[in-house]
Amino acid sequence: MGDVVYRSEVEITRHKGPLRSAKLPAEPDVVWFGVHGDIADHYGVDPDIAQPHAATLDYVVAAAAG
């Protein structure tokens, strides 16, 4: 097996409810994750309480479709 050439070091902070922030390599600002729309409805998140942000699924789809 070859040598490891890269290991991603990411720091995730969970805030209230589904709201999370991540410090990612090469990004000067934190990236916010949360829920919105149908995803919030599915998990029973009150839209008046939670700030809508892109969900983890949105980032995975964007990365795969890249």
Domain range annotation of the chain: 11-65
State the pLDDT at residue 48.
72
pTM: 0.76
Q: pLDDT tens digits for 12-49?
A: 999 988 999 999 999 999 999 999 989 999 989 887 77
Cα distances from 18 to residues 3, 22, 25, in angstroms, run 36, 13, 22
Residue with tokens 């949105």: 58
Helix, strand, coil percentages (3-state) for the chain, rounded to 5, are 25, 15, 60
Amino acid, res. 51: Q
